[in-house]
Amino acid sequence: MSFLDISLFLSVLFCTLATGFILTYAIVVMPGLSKLDDKAFIKAFQVTDRIIQNNQPIFILIWLGSIISVFCTIIVSIISLGILKAWLIIFTSVVYLLGVQFITITIHLSLNKRIQKIDINSTNFQTLSDERKNFETKWNYFNNIRTGISLFVVLIFLLILTMR
């Protein structure tokens, strides 16, 4: 097994685990939270997000593992194959980094930080409703995008790995 095969395997593993996490939010967590009233929704999201924000070790391992393994895969593929033959690996990796990680950093983290700052006990119901609408619509929209991109990337990485 070559370094490239190992790198691709680790990228598949960590990206698949990250995809599972994102997909779970898309099909279970957010639809479940959507059934709650505004105050309960915001509180429930704050509690679940705080677990992640407090550096839950398995989440951090998976999330950072996907970033590190993808960067390593880019480097190893260029060294092993040359930039022209590694174009699909590089393209797929960049799609993951931009379509999943960049969206997470630029959209989801800022939305999560904003919702974390809401004091649900001292905020009136109209403001809670407005905050939830602004948060939930945008969060779900971009989560659906990164879910689709993440599934696409895992599929392409699997195809590349099995065709080697």
Q: How many domains does the chain have?
A: 1
pLDDT given at position 157: 97
- The rounded distance, in Å, linking the Cα atoms of 116 and 133 is 15
- The rounded distance, in Å, linking the Cα atoms of 35 and 33 is 5
Is 59 exposed, middle or buried, given 0-12, 13-18 or 19+ CB atoms closer than 10 A?
A: middle
SS in 3 state form for 110-143? HHHHHHHCCCCCCCCHHHHHHHHHHHHHHHHHHH
pTM of the full structure: 0.94
- The rounded distance, in Å, linking the Cα atoms of 160 and 12 is 10
Query: CA Rg, the chain, in Å?
Result: 18
- The rounded distance, in Å, linking the Cα atoms of 76 and 80 is 6
Taking each helix axis from N to C end, the angle separating 38-53 and 109-116, rounded to the nearest 10 degrees, works out to 120
pLDDT in tens, 17-29: 999 999 999 999 9
pLDDT given at position 40: 98
Q: Can you give the residue range of the structural domain that contains 123?
A: 3-163
Average pLDDT, rounded, for the chain = 97
Residue 10: pLDDT band by 50, 70, 90 thresholds? very high
